[in-house]
């Protein structure tokens, strides 16, 4: 009679009994190694705490501590209740955004720091997007920019449409780390900046004009121009925030002036 799938998985991970010193750290190391080596894949459910404790010859408390650390690192998702348990995360690194929110709210990172990172990263995102964008992606971005223009003409000054453009551009760059950073930064900008500022018609029209110029560069596959315009755009955003935000949010570092594009 064949073994149930869970039993086959649980018996094939190759865990070894732990040493008595630093037990939870050793359990964490072996579990992390199994995940990163692909022996445990996204969506796989870990053995129960009891089963893991038996395999590691440890206490359930040590197993629980290791699982909690892996959950905080974003490698595991723990579901409570009947049918729950620890599962390997599917690669949605929401914890990166949550960590960024926490750093800003604790005062360790300022909005200026966030915008400074955008000055560094987003011109490269625009450059890669111009090189890698597909016709379908270009059509979606052009339609998005057109909708933004219609919204401004109708008096709708909701600024999240601006940040949606940056999310779509990152997707077109086809680098998962840049997508992660762009989405995380956009989420923080929406919640920590946009919600606190009055976005007037002039600001929205300025953002739209930059997006239209970037879009035109994408259509020509002109990666140098796309990068230059994006640098000009983010630097202008940085200058505007420097005038509008309280000093404690701006941070102490001086604004960056646009020089050469990457």
Can you tell me the distance from the alpha carbon of 64 to that of 49, in angstroms, rounded to the nearest whole number?
A: 7
| 3-state SS class at 45 | strand
pLDDT tens digits along 134-143: 999 999 999 9
pLDDT more than 70, % of the chain: 78
- Cα-Cα-Cα-Cα dihedral sign, residues 236, 187, 197, 112: negative
Return the pLDDT at 230. 97
pLDDT band, residue 250 (cuts 50/70/90): very low
User: Which uninterrupted H or E stretch holds 159?
Assistant: none
Which residues touch 64 (CB under 8 Å, ≥6 apart)?
A: 49
Nearest to 247 by CA among 117, 119, 115, 110: 110
Can you tell me the distance from the alpha carbon of 153 to that of 200, in angstroms, rounded to the nearest whole number?
A: 13
Can you tell me the distance from the alpha carbon of 214 to that of 185, in angstroms, rounded to the nearest whole number?
A: 19
Considering 126-135, 160-169, 243-252, the range whose residues carry the highest mean pLDDT is 126-135
Return the pLDDT at 67. 92
Can you tell me the distance from the alpha carbon of 167 to that of 188, in angstroms, rounded to the nearest whole number?
A: 13
pLDDT tens digits along 148-194: 888 888 877 655 557 789 989 999 999 988 988 888 888 787 777 76
The architecture CATH gives domain 94-250 = Up-down Bundle (1.20)
Q: Which two tokens stand for residue 40?
A: 């445990």
Mean pLDDT of all residues in the chain?
A: 81
Return the pLDDT at 74. 74
Nearest to 148 by CA among 162, 136, 131, 166: 162
Can you tell me the distance from the alpha carbon of 249 to that of 113, in angstroms, rounded to the nearest whole number?
A: 9
Ranges of CATH 1.20.120.530 domains, the chain: 94-250
Return the pLDDT at 1. 46
Can you tell me the distance from the alpha carbon of 101 to that of 134, in angstroms, rounded to the nearest whole number?
A: 33
pLDDT tens digits along 2-53: 445 455 455 556 676 665 557 888 999 999 888 888 888 888 999 999 999 9
Average pLDDT over residues 98-118: 83
Nearest to 39 by CA among 77, 5, 78, 13: 13
How far CA 154 is from CA of 68, 145, 201, 211, in Å, comes to 50, 14, 11, 18
Write the DSSP string, 154-187: TT---THHHHHHHHHHHHHHT-HHHHHHHHHHHH
CATH number of 5-88: 1.10.10.10
Ranges of CATH 1.10.10.10 domains, the chain: 5-88
Interior angle at CA 151, CA 145 and CA 154, nearest 5: 145
CB atoms within 10 A of CB 131: 15
């Amino acid at each position: 009679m064949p073994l149930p799938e869970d039993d086959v998985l649980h018996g094939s991970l190759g865990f070894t009994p732990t040493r008595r010193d630093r037990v939870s750290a050793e359990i964490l190391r072996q579990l992390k190694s199994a995940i990163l080596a692909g022996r445990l894949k996204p969506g796989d459910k870990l053995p129960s705490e009891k089963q893991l404790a038996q395999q590691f010859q440890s206490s359930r408390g040590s197993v629980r501590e290791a699982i909690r650390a892996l959950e905080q690192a974003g490698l595991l998702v723990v579901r409570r209740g009947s049918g729950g348990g620890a599962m390997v995360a599917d690669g949605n690194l929401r914890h990166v955004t949550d960590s960024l929110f926490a750093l800003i709210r604790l005062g360790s990172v300022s909005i200026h720091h966030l915008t400074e990172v955008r000055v560094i990263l987003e011109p490269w995102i625009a450059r890669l997007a111009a090189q890698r964008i597909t016709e379908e992606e270009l059509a979606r971005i052009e339609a998005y920019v057109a909708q933004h223009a219609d919204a401004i003409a109708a008096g709708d000054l909701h600024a999240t449409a601006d940040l949606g453009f940056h999310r779509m551009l990152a997707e077109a760059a086809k680098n998962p780390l840049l997508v992660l950073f762009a989405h995380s930064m956009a989420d923080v900008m929406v919640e920590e900046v946009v919600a606190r500022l009055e976005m007037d018609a002039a600001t929205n029209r300025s953002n739209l004009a930059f997006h239209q110029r970037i879009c035109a560069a994408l259509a020509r596959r002109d990666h140098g121009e796309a990068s230059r315009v994006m640098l000009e755009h983010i630097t202008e955003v940085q200058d505007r925030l420097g005038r509008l935000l309280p000093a404690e949010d701006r941070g102490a570092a001086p604004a960056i002036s646009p020089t050469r594009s990457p």
